[in-house]
Structure formats: C-alpha cells, structure tokens
Structure 1
C-alpha cells in the first residue's frame, strides 16, 4: 500500500477522547521497528511507559495494530487488557507467552496470529507497514471480554469504556527478497 493509499488508523472511527503520553526506549515515533519487534527475529513486545492519563482511570489496555495489512481489516498483533491502574509501565517482552512482567489480572486476548501474546511485524516482502501501539485508559477495572475474545470484541468494549488514549507508531518494511 502506498503512503497516499494508507488505511485509516484504528481510532479514526471511535469517539474522540483526551490524549496522554506513551514513550518507549525501544521505539521512537515514526521510526523503524527494531529487530526485536519483528516476528521472524525477536518477536518481543517493546517496553512502554505512560503518563498524563485521566485521574478516573481504573485500568489500562494495550494493543498493537497494523492498519496496512493486506486483509481488508488490518491485523492485530497484540491485545492486552485489565492492566491495573497502578501500573504505568510494561517491560520489554511483557507480551511474551510466559506473561513475565505482566501484572496479576492482566488478560491477553488472542491476536490475529491466533496466539495470546505479542506477535511481531511481518508485512509482505517489500511493503512498509505502520504498527500502532496504543495504551487506553479505561473506566472500569475489568473491561468485560475474556482471553478467548477476538480483537474485534475487545475493540468494541474499548470503544465504550475508553477515557483517554495514547499511541506510538513505528514502521517496518520487510526486505523485498530481490
């Protein structure tokens, strides 16, 4: 997909909410994802820290979405929710299947790879895709869905329970293989 034909971002159709700040030592805004965040290389979720969220926040959710995937509906790489409001940072690798670094009670829903963890970037050869890491401030301690829910169901609940949103967008282009 060319830059002129890029798909909308995942929140373009959600109600506007206040923004807050998310940062990462592993990912700079608009920069190329590191090898650690590529599926065939490190497949490791980046370290994320956030601040400035609404005072009434009761929990957080974190997602990673590729709006440029050639699916017609994008591709969900990470869906994590029910993170306690006292947690404002996830270490690198917290999205791994072992759940190391995740706070008690946090729930991984399945991603579009079909696994309950972070799945790294894997665009078709020669294509540059955006990877939208989003932290949601949520108005309840429990969002409602469970670990077997699809990303669409989690997104549906987030649409109605998000108090604020922060995002960090990185890019990755798979080698063309020429």
Structure 2
C-alpha cells in the first residue's frame, strides 16, 4: 500500500501552471466530483486573504483580562481570470445572450449570484504536488480591463463551512492512470 505523501514529507510545490477549477457541491455539501477549469489565471493574480474574526474580551474593573473568545477568521481566495469566457461570465453573473454572429451580445443584468461552488486549486501537470480543495464557496466576479491584458475578471471565492462541516482540504495531484 502506497503511503500518503502529505503524512511523511512535504508534497511537490504546486507552482507554475496552477488551475482554478469549480463545480456544484455534491450531496450534503461534499466536494464536487465534476470540476470545470475556469481557464487561464494571471501569473501574479492568485492570493489568499485571511481576515481575523471578532475578538471578545472580558476585563475586570482594573483592566485585567479575565476571559477571551475568538471567532473563526474569514478566508478568501482572490484570482484574476484572463479572457473570461461567455460561459464563465454566465456562471457568476445574471446574464442573457441575444443575437447571432457579429450581432451577438451578452447582456449583464446583475453582478451577483447566490450560487455556491466547490473550488480546487491544482497544477495537474506536477504529479504529487499539493492541491487546495474547498467544498463550499461563494464566488464574486468583477469586470476589469488593462491595456496589457485586455478584459479580465477579478474573482473572490469566500470559503464557507457549509453542510460538509469543514473549510478545506490539502491533497496531492494523483498520477495519471
């Protein structure tokens, strides 16, 4: 029986061509088994942001700390999608498509959706490299533009504990079978 790489040593570095994959959460909030690659992400546009949770302190009349309660921090993953597809825009925004050919347009009616997604970050070309898997996220996407990159989308995946009861797993990219 093969030993799990994560239990005995540090996994291969998941640098380089990291992909962002998403899908609908599975039954009872489990990690999605059907993930779709969202496309190219900006090499410098992937970051994790942790915001400390609320801290409640109980102090006596002299200012001495008697007790403290810390709330769970918020964790968000920020990434920039390069050239987001019509399908990707339709996934995270309320859109409708009309016309054909050169008259085809995708009308954006709202930049908000309440859909929940599972998210996976991985470099599938590096066997044994670490993966990051979150079974339940709320994703927001904002349109952006730069003269060097054209139209992009600034995305934030805010991790939720959801029905699965946990925030995320670290795993490894399995060898191709």
Ranked by relative contact order (alpha carbons within 8 Å, sequence separation 6 or more), the top structure is 1
Do Structure 1 and Structure 2 share a fold, with TM-score over 0.5? no
Name the TM-score, length of structure 2 as normaliser: 0.27
Name the TM-score, length of structure 1 as normaliser: 0.27
Larger Rg: 2
